[in-house]
Structure 1
Amino acid sequence: MIADDDEFDPPLPPRRLLLRRKRVLIPLGLLLAILVAFLALRTGDTDRDEMIAKYGGRDAAFAAGPAGQRIHYRDQGKRDGPAIVLLHGSNSSLHTWEPLVRRLGGTYRIVTLDLPGHGLTGGTPDKDYGAAGMMAAVDVVAAKTGLDHFILGGNSMGGWVGWRYALAQPERVDALVLLDAAGMPLRMGEKAPPSNIGFRILEYRFGRWLATQITPRALVEESLRGSVERQTIVDDAMIDRYWELLRFPGNREATVLRARMDREPAMAARVGEIEAPTLILFGDKDRLINPTAAKSFNERIAGSEVVLLPGIGHLPMEEAPDATAAAIADFLTRRLAPTPAGPETR
């Protein structure tokens, strides 16, 4: 009878046995620590109904779209006044326009909306968070509110959607207002702006995955503070709004999908086709988009006007609402004034 070879293996010395156990236990311990930390830091989505009650109120309005969209919007201001449709920036919401609604609503009818993947609109079934999906949302809300033409304004990403819309449907855009709008290439010899920590994280694959799982309130606050020059506007209510709506169902996934999508930079070559009266308003301390982009827009859009607000960052409508509203009102009054009737028609 032949014995098993194991019967003749000498037992391992205690020191070697301890080393072997360490090789197994240390990696397992690290993995366990990482898992515990991940579970402790992980932030889930906010509750849909709770957020609608908190940030939409009892009169929250939604427009249903053909692709299953459910677009949150507000229709405020002077009902029979000229209509302005306003589009917010990336990871923001229609709430960013409330300071302008309070200042311009006595003269204008102001329609604001949460673009797909933002605010109380949340993720959309078609997951189209590019220019086409955003412009489709504008059409859905315009149809719901009975607008066939309007003044169109947008901040940052919303400005990019705005000038894309003016190219796609020029007959509907009476005037265009671009506030720190995205979409212009860097000028010769120019460096990219410093941006904020939230957008820098999205530049990396692991960062994009992490952004769908862990969204610390402190990170949202730091990103907000990195976007504005007037720090006094960043209070607890503003931080909570951005933090909670970013975690509205579907919004974090949409953020990651937008970070990977093709922004079609070649479209910037067509911006000169815009014929609508255009106001270009930038904060001269913008750290997300170089303020020189205002000059690029102005050079390319014939007849456009530029206003640079000193000491203001990326969100002029919140950082300097009085100056922003005054500039918009002055521009629209001058550029959209009715043509005096001739003697034969008086």
Structure 2
Amino acid sequence: MKAAFKKKYILYIVLVVLLLLIKGAVYSDISVKDLKAEYANEHSKFVEVDGMQVHYRDEGKGFPIVLIHGTASSLHTWNDWTTELTQTNRVIRMDLPAFGITGPNKNADYSIKSYTNFLHQFLMKMNLDKFYLAGNSLGGNIAWNYTAEHPEKIEKLILVDASGLPTNKPQPAIFKMAKTPVLSSLFLYVTPKIFIKKNMKEVYGDETKITDDLVTRYHKMALRVGNRQAFIDRAKIDFKLGEKTNLNKLKSIQTPTLLIWGAKDNWIPLKSVGIKMDSILPNSKLVVLENSGHVPMEENPEESLVVLKEFIEIR
């Protein structure tokens, strides 16, 4: 045991040295002021929820659609959907706690229960009685949990490569790093841009669509003051403890539900999660996008929008 323990820490030290040798690997935090200057726009607003200044955008007119992003992302992941949907609907999206310009939750609680409570408080401030709710990945997990608890609010539910069921796969490297002693501490200072790009290549089905601007945005959002520690705190949460509860909640959802899934999703696979989720939900329809990975709304917005608009009957 001692020998194995020693080998692990020697490996950690080697990794530390290698990372430090990467040019530009060490990055300072980016202030909220600087991020606002670059990534907020005329539609950006801020509302206080649980002591956080939550960055959100509320655009367009018509029946409301609420969009929730996934882990390490931001409201910008819905840019293309929003451009199209605001022609017919009111579109509301926010940066979740721990991500984007919103930043960390002061209580460092990133459980699904905490996120669902956050969403409820946020939507109360938006004065919404009835709306469509869409979420990707973590955002999808939050969306269906919210729907199970507040079914009267949701006209239709859209889950895009949503989490919440076992994937039967090892966790992505970025989560393993965040859980590992020494490496997690290193993550607070060493966050190379190339590492962000590597993770995006795992997320996209077609890596040629990953632009420099896209990588830069994800990278800068990760460097927002407090976001790196928040990512570590969230990665330590064991979501497997709620598997039985998740099954019961999914079975209880009677809301018409559209599942949009990328066939090339390596993080939350179609076979082990998408198809199973469709079989559990009582009133769902699964549409598979053959050329998409984990974020179809970002990677293939036109194709995914056709499916969405048909579901919510936008002509």
TM superposition shift of 1:196: 4.5
2:307 counterpart SS class: helix
Per the alignment, residue 60 of structure 1 pairs with 44
Per the alignment, residue 213 of structure 2 pairs with 237
Deviations, residues 303-336 of structure 1 (Å, cap 9, x unaligned): 20000001210110011111111111111129xx
Q: Report if the CA contact (8 A) 1:201-1:207 is conserved.
A: yes
2:245 equivalent among 264, 267, 270: 267
* Superposition pairs of residues 130-279 of structure 1, within 5 angstroms: 130-186=111-167, 191-192=168-169, 196-263=172-239, 264-270=242-248, 271-279=250-258
Structure 2 letter corresponding to 1:105: T
Per the alignment, residue 5 of structure 2 pairs with none
After TM superposition, the score normalised by the length of structure 1 is 0.80
Per the alignment, residue 294 of structure 1 pairs with 274
State whether structure 2 residue 305 is matched by structure 1 residue 318: no
Q: Report if the CA contact (8 A) 2:43-2:57 is conserved.
A: no
Structure 1: where are the runs of 5+ without partners?
Answer: 1-29, 338-346
Per the alignment, residue 281 of structure 1 pairs with 260
For 1:306 and 1:59, how far apart are their aligned partners in 2? Answer: 33
2:59 equivalent among 76, 80, 92: 76
1:333 counterpart SS class: coil
Structure 2: where are the runs of 5+ without partners?
Answer: 1-12
Structure 2 letter corresponding to 1:47: S
For 1:289 and 1:321, how far apart are their aligned partners in 2? Answer: 19
Q: How many residues align?
A: 296
For 1:58 and 1:331, how far apart are their aligned partners in 2? Answer: 30
For 1:329 and 1:112, how far apart are their aligned partners in 2? Answer: 18
Per the alignment, residue 10 of structure 1 pairs with none
Structure 1 letter corresponding to 2:57: R
Distance 1:205 1:164, change over 3 A: farther
TM superposition shift of 1:146: 1.8
TM superposition shift of 1:148: 2.4
For 2:224 and 2:309, how far apart are their aligned partners in 1? Answer: 34
Distance 1:115 1:300, change over 3 A: same
1:307 counterpart SS class: strand
Q: Report if the CA contact (8 A) 2:98-2:231 is conserved.
A: yes
1:118 counterpart SS class: coil
State whether structure 2 residue 108 is matched by structure 1 residue 127: yes
Per the alignment, residue 341 of structure 1 pairs with none
Q: What root-mean-square deviation, in Å, do the aligned CA atoms of Structure 1 and Structure 2 show?
A: 2.4
Identical-residue share of aligned pairs (%): 30
Per the alignment, residue 8 of structure 2 pairs with none
Greater relative CO, 1 or 2 (CA 8 Å, sep 6+) = 2
After TM superposition, the score normalised by the length of structure 2 is 0.87
1:111 equivalent among 77, 92, 108: 92
TM superposition shift of 1:133: 2.6
Moved more, 308-317 or 148-157: 148-157
Structure 1 letter corresponding to 2:140: G
Structure 2 letter corresponding to 1:48: V
Structure 2 letter corresponding to 1:280: L
For 1:289 and 1:179, how far apart are their aligned partners in 2? Answer: 10
TM superposition shift of 1:212: 1.9
1:46 equivalent among 30, 44, 48: 30
TM superposition shift of 1:301: 0.7
